[in-house]
Structure 1
């Protein structure tokens, strides 16, 4: 009897400890963080008793770099863009992740064959494929509608302010595509001085009408407030505003730039054992498919695709809103991690100088 009481007390104590345990995960906020909370955080807490704390940043890569360099890391996991993950990993600011922790697909396909190509690296595991598109307020254009990337730069045919992210990345690529460069030739063009000048020259044509944004939640708000008629944006943010909030916003995938986004563990992160447990859980086939119920980003595992169904409203088919839908890939560009790893500092300096003039 005494032995039973001791064991029971130990189990109760362990349960209380687990319930009190917390895991801080940094992400981008808004509709995107909500999709993670619903698909990953809540089910993980239900399974383990560990409370997942959602920490929001405009771009998590920035505070993660600062925390690691200061030796004061407060979050266990961060959600970052693929290019930022590669840069942080190269600088030795991330923990390496053993790919053997990832679960196989339900049919037994090994995890590393099931993830999309390049989705898992030494320090990073992708969860989604997202894209930067542009969107417009349908009420601003009652007659002719924007349909191509060139229309984003056509102030005469489609007058009104434009919203662009305050960074050279994506803007330079879109500028060249709008200027007639085929997607497969964009990065070769940007490797030349002439190509860079051509991109900035195209941006010059709308510069005076640009409202610059920095956080993912801003573009839908800029449209809603009437501050811009069109804006580049993360595709999932516009989907959420249009479908969940019934805003009159239309997404244009022509000229989209798509890439991976996913999780990293900062070097020296607290509670790393639980962090790895969370990564294993969140990147399972079903969890990745479940996230797509809340936001229109494509899952990073092949086996998740067929499980993507309806939006949370129970009516909207998510497939056509994914960056990876066949029709949305007709004029589309995969972002080059290698290019931006090599040229980001140089082109950011060039971009900032251009902004200042």
Structure 2
């Protein structure tokens, strides 16, 4: 088979039926700089070692839960490996849509022989989750749009200050992070945010806070959107994944700064859809064993500023592959960036996501 890598911009293949050959693997991710880092660190070296394999990329991770539910209902699983956030991995696992894995059998040991279960540690938030990175959702802002005589934004809470920082905002079109920031910036103590969100009054309070900037907000769903809005100068400030902002600032040299305080920590990783035929399952498990070893996870940090999920990978993080700059200061876990962080409660969102999604979308439609 001729070596090739196909990157799909859309999702049309997802429900067209899996007609690919056994050596084809359909990997689902998020597109943009993050997917490029996966290609550079994982799939390019894997295909170089396995030239009979064709990797097909699909950028449907934002809709992964809904689409896997639909595929399962139709009895036609067209994806082989899916990149999801931690809370979604828990939902997919609980619903039987993702396959349980044994870290010490399915994943590589660390170079010193440490078993994967110990090397990944607390990152293994679900029996189906194969961790890759620690990332954060934080805020980028246009440095050339900061009003004269005003200090640049430093915190997520600055997004709510239209008087000090006028201009359009961009926020993700989902409740995660937005609801937590709304309550935190309305005076709720960090440790009380999730218990507050469990009440009708707490949800109403969060949405009322978001109401104060709703008319000035552009709502994004694809992770490439907020960085493009910043690059085009269409917004003053917007939430985005820290690796996307790194690419915008360091690679594209755009006049953009980062407000790190109250960045939202999260995890990203793979799940293997349940119900794959044996030949496809065997192929994808071979790839996962390779792609999540110590070196590969460290290699990804050469291309994007996300922290590797393995303890053994962290000391191997060095300089950017093309820029030659030290990557450690650009990681969300760097002490200078992590003075005030909000850690996403993955289990809480797995329990409450569907309900809050419905309420959030109803509020958006008003």
TM-score, normalised relative to structure 2: 0.88
Structure 2: distance between partners of 1:101 and 1:342:
28
Mapping of residues 128-147 of structure 1, within 5 Å = 128-141=133-146, 143=148, 144=150, 145-147=152-154
| CA distance in structure 2 between the aligned counterparts of 1:87 and 1:160, rounded to whole angstroms | 37
Q: Tell me, in whole angstroms, the C-alpha distance in 2 between the residues paired with 1:268 and 1:193.
A: 38
Asked if structure 1 preserves the Cα contact closer than 8 Å seen for 2:23 and 2:283, the reply is no
Distance 1:89 1:53, change over 3 A: same
Q: Which moved more, 1:246-255 or 1:207-216?
A: 246-255
Structure 2's unaligned 5+ residue stretches are: 2-20
Q: Report whether the alignment pairs 1:161 with 2:168.
A: yes
Q: What is the DSSP-based 3-state SS (H/G/I as helix, E as strand, rest coil) of the residue aligned with 1:348?
A: helix
Give how far 1:356 is off. Answer: 2.1
| SS in structure 2 of the partner of residue 329 of structure 1 | coil
1:234 aligns with 2:241: yes
**Alignment partner, residue 61 of structure 1:** 65
Shift, 1:171, TM fit = 0.3
RMSD: 1.8
| Cross-structure match for 1:195 | 202
The C-alpha deviation readout for 1:321-349, integer Å capped at 9, x for no partner, is 11111222221111112211221122122
> Contact between 1:172 and 1:200, CA under 8 Å: does it hold in 2?
yes
Match of 2:35 in 1: 33
Deviation at 1:89, TM superposition (A): 1.1
1:292 equivalent in structure 2:
301
Distance 1:243 1:46, change over 3 A: same
Q: Is residue 2:78 matched to residue 1:78?
A: no
For 1:280, which of 278, 282, 289 is the aligned residue? 289
Q: Distance in 1 between matches of 2:235 and 2:85?
A: 26
**In structure 2, C-alpha distance between the alignment counterparts of 1:78 and 1:53, rounded to whole Å:** 12
**Cα distance, 1:142 vs structure 2:** 5.3
Q: Give the Cα–Cα distance (whole angstroms) in 2 for the partners of residues 300 and 194 of structure 1.
A: 36
1:146-201: CA deviation from partner (whole Å, max 9, x where unpaired):
11222111000000001011111110011122223343332122223332222112
Q: Does the 8 Å contact 1:135/1:249 carry over to 2?
A: yes
Gaps of 5+ in 1: 1-11, 13-18
The residue number in structure 2 matching 1:303 is: 312
Q: Supply the distance in 2 between the matched residues of 1:97 and 1:228 (Cα, whole angstroms).
A: 43
| Matched pairs, number | 340
1:265-292 superposed Cα distances (whole Å, 9 cap, x missing partner) = 1122351101001111111011000001
Per-residue CA shift, 1:40-84, capped at 9, x if unaligned?
001111222222222222513332332222111122111111111
Which moved further from structure 2: 80-89 or 97-106? 97-106
Which residues of 2 match residues 266-277 of structure 1 at below 5 A? 266-270=273-277, 271-277=280-286
Bigger CA drift: 166-175 or 53-62? Answer: 53-62
Note closer, same or farther for the CA distance 1:147–1:54 as it changes in structure 2 (3 Å cut).
same
Partner of 1:179, secondary structure, is coil
**Alignment deviations for residues 126-149 of structure 1 (CA, whole Å, 9 cap, x no partner):** 101111111111111154201122
Q: Hey, what does 2:332 align to over in structure 1?
A: 323
Take 2:329 and 2:336, find their aligned partners in 1: how far apart are those partners? 8
Q: Distance in 2 between matches of 1:82 and 1:180?
A: 27
TM-score (norm 1): 0.91
Deviation at 1:120, TM superposition (A): 5.5
Indicate conservation of the 8 Å contact 2:172/2:219, yes or no: yes
